[in-house]
């Protein structure tokens, strides 16, 4: 205790018989120089504090803090990757709007629509460029960032001067970046999540909690925050692994859909050739969540896609493909949000436990 709270006068600690009056150390008092104003510690905190100063508990606390600090650093890195990945998804939506209108050029209506949608695309690119300035990102990211900046400027110049060549050059460059970077970011997300040893954090907390309970103190003398934190950590590791695997699965499907989409302007042969394998990939991701609404809706879209591909009618296939693309994108974003929310929950629980253990240790 003296190591982490050197400002306290521990000689002034007194045991209060009124546990309901002051149940915890009043850490808000920093002016402890006056010996006449002692710090009160209730009976339900004295036992854990005495046990925590034992070497085995100090070792367990140190282990938890080491694991949590490492996990917290990886969560911060992963959050940066996730933000960039999310922005790429938003950028892709803006790209599609411009790409669809670009096919209708040089019609004036097409230019009007592109002029309305270009500022949003410009803004999304700027957001991405700002994110990759963070220390998380490498010189390789700077390279594609420069390419993205070039595409942004070419598209704006094309809009301002009604220059089809400039516009198309910028659109093609964005497509090349979208074809590579989201998948690369996904690989970084999966790798970083794999480095978060959430199970080690859970084990460290349970070691401390079990040690307290086996030491002979009553369960009601164990701080509620410690018991609650241990309960909240249960199952987090399994959920984390599941979400990372699902995120990886949707990324593979998204990559395949984007590849197929590039050939849809000419014909639907590539989709027909690919659809059998693609439908199996989709069903593999849908099946574990078949009881959920999103899964039921997406399965209907996949089954409808089965029918139109069998009919071999280009108009129907293109229409249903766009619908499928929309549903897949929506689910992908939901997994993104669930994954980031889980990691933030883990970080918040860890921070609460860390603060508690430092005050006890």
| Residue matched to tokens 């042969």 | 269
Segment of 41-55, 116-130, 208-222, 265-279 carrying the highest mean pLDDT = 116-130
Query: Is the confidence at residue 165, as pLDDT, over 90?
Result: yes
Q: Give me the mean pLDDT over the 249-259 stretch.
A: 90
Q: Provide the mean pLDDT of the chain.
A: 79
Q: What is d(CA 346, CA 262) in angstroms, rounded to the nearest whole number?
A: 40
Q: What is d(CA 347, CA 341) in angstroms, rounded to the nearest whole number?
A: 10
* pLDDT at position 313: 84
Structure tokens at 69: 């600090």
The answer to whether the pTM exceeds 0.85 is no
Q: Of 133-147, 187-201, 302-316, which range is least confident?
A: 187-201
Helix (H, G, I), strand (E, B) or coil at 14: strand
Query: Is the confidence at residue 177, as pLDDT, over 70?
Result: yes
**99-138 tens-digit pLDDT:** 989 988 888 889 999 999 999 999 999 999 999 999 999 8
More confidently predicted of 232 and 13: 232
Q: What is the dihedral of CA 136, 141, 147, 152, to 10 degrees?
A: -20
pLDDT-derived band at 53 (thresholds 50, 70, 90) equals low
**293-330 tens-digit pLDDT:** 999 999 999 999 999 999 888 888 989 999 999 999 88
Q: 59: phi > 0 → left, psi -120 to 50 → alpha, else beta; which?
A: alpha
* pLDDT at position 71: 81
CB-based contacts of 123: which residues, under 8 Å, 6+ apart?
Answer: none
Continuous segment of H or E residues that includes residue 31 = none
Query: Is the confidence at residue 227, as pLDDT, over 90?
Result: no
Structure tokens at 146: 């420069």
Question: 202, 234 in Cβ contact below 8 A?
Answer: yes
- DSSP characters over 299-359: HHHHHHHHHHHHHT-HHHHHHHHHHHHHHHHHHHHHHHHHHHHHHHHHHHHHHHHHHHHHH
* pLDDT at position 198: 72
42 pairs with which residues across the strands?
Answer: 16
- Pairing assessment for the beta strands 14-16 and 40-42 based on DSSP bridges: parallel
């Amino acid at each position: 205790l003296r190591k982490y709270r050197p400002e306290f006068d521990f000689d002034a600690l007194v045991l209060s018989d009124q546990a309901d009056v002051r149940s915890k150390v009043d850490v808000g008092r920093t002016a402890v120089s006056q010996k006449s104003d002692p710090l009160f510690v209730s009976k339900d905190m004295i036992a854990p504090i005495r046990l925590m100063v034992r070497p085995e508990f100090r070792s367990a606390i140190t282990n938890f803090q080491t694991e949590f600090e490492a996990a917290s650093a990886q969560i911060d890195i992963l959050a940066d990757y996730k933000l960039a990945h999310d922005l790429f998804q938003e950028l892709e939506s803006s790209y599609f709007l411009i790409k669809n209108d670009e096919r209708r050029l040089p019609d004036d209506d097409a230019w009007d629509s592109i002029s309305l949608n270009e500022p949003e695309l410009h803004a999304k690119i700027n957001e991405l460029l700002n994110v990759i300035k963070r220390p998380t990102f490498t010189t390789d990211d700077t390279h594609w960032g420069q390419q993205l900046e070039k595409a942004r400027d070419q598209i704006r110049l094309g809009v301002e001067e009604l220059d089809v060549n400039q516009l198309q050059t910028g659109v093609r460059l964005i497509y090349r970046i979208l074809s590579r970077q989201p998948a690369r970011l996904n690989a970084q997300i999966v790798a970083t999540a794999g480095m978060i040893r959430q199970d080690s954090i859970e084990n460290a907390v349970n070691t401390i909690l079990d040690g307290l309970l086996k030491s002979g103190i009553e369960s009601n003398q164990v701080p509620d925050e410690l018991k609650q934190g241990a309960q909240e950590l249960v199952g987090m590791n399994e959920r984390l692994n599941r979400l990372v695997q699902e995120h990886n699965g949707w990324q593979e499907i998204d990559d395949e859909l984007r590849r197929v989409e590039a050939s849809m302007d000419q014909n639907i042969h590539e989709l027909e050739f690919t659809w059998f394998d693609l439908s199996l990939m989709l069903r593999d991701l849908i099946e574990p969540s078949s009881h959920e609404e999103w899964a039921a809706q997406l399965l209907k879209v996949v089954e409808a896609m089965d029918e139109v591909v069998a009919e071999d009618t280009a108009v129907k296939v293109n229409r249903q493909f766009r619908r499928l693309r929309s549903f897949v994108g929506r689910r992908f974003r939901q997994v993104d949000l669930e994954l980031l929310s889980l990691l933030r929950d883990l970080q918040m629980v860890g921070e609460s436990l860390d603060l508690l253990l430092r005050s006890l240790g």
